[in-house]
Amino acid sequence: MSASAAMERALKRRQPPTQVSLHRIPAKTLAVFTRQWSALMIAGIPLVQAFQLLGQSAVGSRQTRQSWVQILQQLQQDVSAGSALHLAFQKHPHTFNSLYCSILQAGESAGILDTLLVRLANTLEAHAQLKAKVQHALIYPACILLVACGVLSVILIWVVPLFEAVFQSMGAALPNATQHLIQFKKVAV
């Protein structure tokens, strides 16, 4: 989503516009943030101070850290201004999905934010691990597909014309499978 589209969407929802980050925060970074935040909440660190500490310890690429610090500064400003925690997070839908915000709202309402943050961190970490496993599992089939496409290209470009020339020089009729392959080559190439 572009920055202007996100601003228009926020205005339609009657939310005050926030500074929109064009860099997506990785799921693993969000899981680390939630885990660290839960530890700070359990330790009794005030919310605004926790956001400051989390901004100082932001991890990831330079661009991710900059985006993360911007988001945390905006959250810190909103919470300091008296906004409800889940409403401050809802202003960043590109980073915090509706489930995340709903869990924050439930934790605020029930007074068990620290407990729910631990559970949310566990869920986010499990999701990030599953995503990494799926991506890792897809690497081998993708490599096989790439090699197969390369082999097929070599066959269509160099081998099929050789067979065609050999059969024509002998005056023999091409087998049906070879004729279909030649037709496919003419269409594909």
Residues 6+ apart with CB under 8 A from 15: 90, 91
For the segment 58-110, what is each residue's pLDDT rounded down to a tens digit? 777 788 888 888 999 999 999 999 999 999 999 999 999 999 999 999 999 99
For the segment 10-59, what is each residue's pLDDT rounded down to a tens digit? 556 554 444 444 457 888 889 999 999 999 999 999 999 999 999 888 77
Q: How many CB atoms lie within 10 A of CB 167?
A: 16
Does this model's pTM top 0.85? My answer is no
